[in-house]
Structure 1
């Protein structure tokens, strides 16, 4: 039996642009998965997703017209239930077989179709049958229904369809947007499926304004994209349309010259790709006087409100040129360019007005207003929160740099949230912190404090840069710790994919700052030091918060390429100086490559189990009680190796420390081969346990080596 390629398209009203990419990929993958599950497609079938503002489509190669019949063996019931004393089918068995569609009119044939086989401690009856493979008509209908049901629709729309003449009235349909046509082709043959009140055909619609014909007839499943481009002026593939926009943006920027380039924004690029069917990039401009406004404000208003691509020069400074991705390609583009320039001008004027008005008041004068802004009903106002951040920042600053750093951190923390009350941040919340830095400089504050105010939200996302100076680091740490300790203290924890206060991001931010800046701060001490700032507003959830932070750290390290074993071994010790973690991991990786590693890890695990069963063990060894040659040899080796390893550990050379310990493999192996730890004589037993305790402590300073055991 030969296969053909299948094409399915849903033509709808304009889909939400931010969700289009995800919707298109999900529609195609779910449709293909459902066909595979029914045996109508296999692993060799290639799935191609298409998604434009007005369509979701999927092309699946190598699809069968009918799935192969499949032999199925089904467990029925225990023999004791299914057969009577004389070996005949019981009423319960006959009823079960009838439910499966078996013909039970012939007792001999019925019994012949059954098999007896062991099932645990008893025997069970099994029924062999041949399940007829699904046809494409029924299989595609099921696959299409399921693909639509499983679409990750951000918000469902309800609309009505008029029923046929025989049954006048309306029926309600729920989908992401009203659907207008369904296309389903198997090769060049229409597959008669129905969905959302639509019956499949071989036609669709092209570009809303520039299609050459209407409707667009698709002659064959493999001609879909080419025909839609030729007759409908639509680039159906999301990826190809996106690549075309990137190409045109680069070409337009090159014409502007002077190293101009469009701002790099993947999310904006995806959104614009979801807004146009056949992109046409045009260059526009605005008055240069607006460049006196902070460029972040201008860039954000052009991106967020108009979906434009601002152009920056080679130094990253904003120019007065911007690029528009139009959905039409008129011969005279002046009207499109002029219209976009007229539209952006009031937006830029608003930004300039906000900036000018905001600078009439100092950040200091806005601080009192934060007492009227609710932060959380259990944690008080933003003003109260600022006081907590100040207290935490002063404590951290004092520890890291004394009075000077504590004072500058206090000043920055006091003013860091004041820009929340400015007009600019009210219009563009994304600019909080950034505008605070601009206004701090205007108020005459030092560059260090201004940078700290601007940077105190950093890192804002994965891969974001850290604060530029130590004051910024201190305030950023204090701000994130206040959020973490406060939310954990009132039991407001992340659940599943819900994390409204971004606690996971805050935890990773704290981890990154402590680790990448190698700050001389301990995780546990930081959490404990933040608690008093809340007085009686929270309960102590420090242990849970520390667990949460180490979980985030473990996940981050695995994403960086460290193995689960390596991460587990290091973090089992809960190292408080996170700047040490990377060195510990590299040391563990080097140790694991040694030929002695596996045996020592296994021995370490064995020692841990012995000590766990023994309970409280004193790490003390009496040489007088060392009787066996193997324990004497192990003790002697430890006297040589352990001090050197400890010195290397204290010097921060973790790799050398672990490699020094590798010399203990032979005496450790000999000890377990020749010495009974749990001797009958209590003094010998305690002494040997003390020897193992001493060994265990020496071996597990860098990491818990037992976690490396297979």
Structure 2
């Protein structure tokens, strides 16, 4: 009877890259399950495999339930030869058939052993065989070999791995040298054995141990120069020595109770979130998913502690403080009920201790230095007005074929002014915002935190006593930054945002830098979707082709830019189809509206609603068919008249 038990596979390594840990864990677990299931080594064929994927900073693991020690026998159907080759004109076996069957181990055979069946357009002879199923050792070894080569690691490293000498039989000369009493012979022996006993291994991080347990039995497989066993290591500081895993089912509990390691990635994330909320009390925790995922991948036994910093730093823009804490220190900032940033933070430690005072004090010293740096950058930036920085963009190359950033700013300014006039915006504000919008790229704060471009421009513009609409447009001209992001709220912001995206798209398409199926280095798809969203959701009375012509005119001094209007319009309509499908519109209704290539999008929603209202009418299909027949008749009549002329 086939033994069925849970299978545990764990690879213990040096610290894995935290931002890639979840992706590595998923690939490791999914790859293992898929490959074992393909060899019929998992559970019943009519049920989906059940498994648990685990990961900590130092390990990748999977527990697969209901794994067989041996796969059931496999019934296979093997094509032998086409009938035209296997049989002669009198339907007698040819020598070719006899040789083929002998090669398949069938020297003695009968006609009942063969099946004659249609194979495509011809007939062929087949044999049916029952083959023994794969063993778990064979299947797991193959799965490990394949998975470890294909894991989605951001980078791999090559390192020497000691190879068990017992896996290799020493040569006679090596045995004689090892038995020799002379110093020279011993040196020679060590040299030979040392070269043979080490190999170079490539993996994302050096691996130290491998566990492969089927129930309580060790599966004798190898990976990365390691032989499978049942021992692992627990927490670096809260655990002592090796830990034996008695049974695959006991993996999670053993590491939790003895090793102080919470191996379940999702459970560890939930535990951290719960501790953060508990420590925050009445305050609101700024808890972006990316940061929560990263700290989850950095700890094995999480503990959350609260720290504080000097309230004087609150005079800085809150975005500076938040990014400093999140990006550099992996801290969680806190806001009060009114939304004001608090001089407190929460940190996730890998050490649970009743006396965390030293941990907290050390982190407070570090964050104080980081915030002092941010304060210094802010004060240095304030020594120069944004309007004084803007012309310095002439020394910054935007693109070698498109000139400097300042030349780009002047193009954006001209486009923004023209758009502002058409949508009723203040042209002076739009022009001023376009001039200043890129100036914060030269500030030290944006140099340290590129994510703050636009945000710092808004703060510095306000401190320079620029009009509020100008200041807000400095930040809003990047919007929407991503799918679902908010749109500019000011008319000047709308004008500059459209101008910025149009200049980017026309310029890069004009020099042939169009996105391909798998590459979009300049994020042109995102720029196009942002532009379309603004035109649609703001219901702006702007002609798409006229906007492209207007933008192309600004590149008159750049001879390398060719007119990209037609390919860009095709690009826009492709993006528009995707955008409208995501909003729930039917593909045929979208095509009915976009087939006319409308240049204004402000009434697109009305058109789609009208087409949908027609589609739900009882006679819609008949009316559409009649219209199609009439159109075909008219087309045929026109073609005939043209031929007669």
Do the aligned residues in 2 keep the contact of 1:137 with 1:192 (CA within 8 Å)?
Answer: yes
Which residue, 242, 250, 268 being the options, matches 1:241?
268
SS in 1 for 2:234: coil
Residues 578, 224 of structure 1: alpha-carbon distance in 2 compared, 3 angstrom cutoff: farther
Structure 1 Cα separation of the partners of residues 516 and 608 of structure 2: 30
- Number of the residue aligned with 1:128: 128
Which residue, 57, 60, 67 being the options, matches 1:63?
67
| Residue 333 in structure 1 maps to residue 356 in structure 2 | yes
Shift of 1:112: 4.3
Within a 5 Å distance, the mapping from 1:457-536 to structure 2 comes to 457-535=478-556, 536=559
Within a 5 Å distance, the mapping from 1:143-542 to structure 2 comes to 143-165=143-165, 166=170, 167-169=193-195, 170-211=198-239, 213-254=240-281, 257=282, 260-401=283-424, 405-535=426-556, 536-542=559-565
Shift of 1:586: 3.3
Do the aligned residues in 1 keep the contact of 2:19 with 2:297 (CA within 8 Å)?
Answer: yes
Residues 36, 563 of structure 1: alpha-carbon distance in 2 compared, 3 angstrom cutoff: farther
Q: Deviations along 1:618-674, whole A, 9 cap, x unmatched?
A: xxxxxxxxxxxxxxxxxxxxxxxxxxxxxxxxxxxxxxxxxxxxxxxxxxxxxxxxx
Residues 398, 343 of structure 1: alpha-carbon distance in 2 compared, 3 angstrom cutoff: same
What TM-score, normalized to structure 1? 0.82
SS in 1 for 2:194: coil
What TM-score, normalized to structure 2? 0.90
Residues 429, 96 of structure 1: alpha-carbon distance in 2 compared, 3 angstrom cutoff: farther
Q: Deviations along 1:521-559, whole A, 9 cap, x unmatched?
A: 122222222111112231122222222222222222222
Do the aligned residues in 1 keep the contact of 2:98 with 2:107 (CA within 8 Å)?
Answer: no
Residues 51, 366 of structure 1: alpha-carbon distance in 2 compared, 3 angstrom cutoff: same
SS in 2 for 1:209: coil
| Residue 575 in structure 1 maps to residue 624 in structure 2 | no
Which piece of structure 1 moves more, 339-348 or 36-45? 36-45
Shift of 1:569: 3.0
SS in 2 for 1:594: coil
Within a 5 Å distance, the mapping from 1:547-626 to structure 2 comes to 547-607=570-630, 609-610=632-633
Q: Deviations along 1:9-45, whole A, 9 cap, x unmatched?
A: 1111101000111111111111111111111124432
Shift of 1:91: 5.9
Residues 253, 91 of structure 1: alpha-carbon distance in 2 compared, 3 angstrom cutoff: farther
SS in 1 for 2:117: strand
Structure 2 Cα separation of the partners of residues 267 and 95 of structure 1: 64
Do the aligned residues in 2 keep the contact of 1:8 with 1:182 (CA within 8 Å)?
Answer: yes
Structure 1 Cα separation of the partners of residues 573 and 363 of structure 2: 50
Do the aligned residues in 2 keep the contact of 1:74 with 1:128 (CA within 8 Å)?
Answer: yes
- Number of the residue aligned with 2:176: none
Shift of 1:164: 3.2
- Number of the residue aligned with 1:34: 35
Which residue, 73, 78, 85 being the options, matches 1:81?
85
Structure 1 Cα separation of the partners of residues 409 and 516 of structure 2: 27
Measured on the aligned residues, the alpha-carbon RMSD in Å equals 2.2
Structure 2 Cα separation of the partners of residues 75 and 613 of structure 1: 54
Which residue, 73, 76, 80 being the options, matches 1:72?
76
Do the aligned residues in 2 keep the contact of 1:286 with 1:345 (CA within 8 Å)?
Answer: yes
Structure 1 Cα separation of the partners of residues 379 and 612 of structure 2: 57
Shift of 1:613: 5.4
SS in 2 for 1:445: coil
Shift of 1:389: 1.0
Shift of 1:351: 0.6
Residues 272, 497 of structure 1: alpha-carbon distance in 2 compared, 3 angstrom cutoff: farther
Shift of 1:2: 5.6
Structure 2 Cα separation of the partners of residues 4 and 425 of structure 1: 56
Structure 1 Cα separation of the partners of residues 125 and 361 of structure 2: 80
Q: Which runs of 5+ in 2 are unaligned?
A: 171-192
SS in 2 for 1:103: coil
Structure 2 Cα separation of the partners of residues 344 and 288 of structure 1: 13
SS in 1 for 2:384: coil
Q: Which runs of 5+ in 1 are unaligned?
A: 617-677, 687-710
Do the aligned residues in 1 keep the contact of 2:3 with 2:70 (CA within 8 Å)?
Answer: no
Shift of 1:268: 0.7
Shift of 1:343: 0.4
Shift of 1:86: 4.6
Do the aligned residues in 1 keep the contact of 2:162 with 2:225 (CA within 8 Å)?
Answer: no
Q: Deviations along 1:589-638, whole A, 9 cap, x unmatched?
A: 3333222122233444445555565666xxxxxxxxxxxxxxxxxxxxxx
Which piece of structure 1 moves more, 492-501 or 410-419? 492-501
| Residue 103 in structure 1 maps to residue 117 in structure 2 | no
